[in-house]
Amino acid sequence: MKIGYARVSTKDQNIALQKDALEGEGCKLVFEEKASGANSDRPELRRMIDQLRPDDIVIIWKLDRLGRSLRDLVNLVTEIQDKGAGLRSLNDSIDTTTPQGKLTFHLFAALAEFERDIISERTRAGLESARARGRKGGRPKGLTKEARDKAIITKSLYEKGEMSVAEICKYLNIARSTMYKYLKT
């Protein structure tokens, strides 16, 4: 069965163009989603993948409608293929139900893995180089100058006792937990 997946990033965008194209391709079922591609919690995508059966074909308008990054895309397509289904993108000439489409997809997957390895290698080399120069990673210890100033004001206002904790937080535009952190420092 042909199953469509259409996604727009914001509530203001219109999904009709994608939906019309998917129905025109013969999709019996179209899952629609209004969510950012960066959001990994996409219930309609998850529902679609959970319902896939062998020989189903997932049809999408463009690859970027399915995943934001190459890594996400590779993971999703692998999950679709593990269910015995294929993927066809209407505007990207990708069709994993054909030998050429599988080859193209596997090239994408290999490039994604290569990219991950290169990034990992560069990160490791950069950290080793920084350590060799005596630098340590992580967030700097202590408060920024602005935070130190607010901590001094917080302590002064709190010790005077003229304002409630809520009033101090509102006055300094800080959270209650931040205020108590400031009082400890």
Q: How far is CA 154 from the centre of its chain?
A: 37
* pLDDT > 80? residue 171: yes
Q: Does 9 participate in catalysis according to the annotation?
A: yes
pLDDT digits (tens, 9 = 90+) for 44-71: 999 999 999 999 999 999 888 887 777 7
Is the pLDDT assigned to residue 9 strictly greater than 90? Answer: no
DSSP for 22-40 reads HHHTT-SEEEEEES-TT-S
CA–CA separation, 39 and 54 (whole Å) = 27
Name all contacts of 132-136 with Cβ < 8 Å and 24+ positions apart: none
Structural domain spans, the chain: 2-108, 145-184
How confident is the model at residue 37, as a pLDDT?
62
Instruction: Say which of 9, 69, 120, 164 is annotated catalytic.
Output: 9
- Model confidence over 127-148: pLDDT tens digits? 889 889 988 777 777 888 889 9
Give the pLDDT of residue 23: 94
Domain 2-108 in CATH 3.30.70.1230? The answer is no
Residue 88 has pLDDT above 90, yes or no: yes
Q: Band the pLDDT of 39: cuts 50, 70, 90.
A: low
Rg of the Cα trace of the chain?
26
**What per-residue confidence (pLDDT) applies to 64?**
81
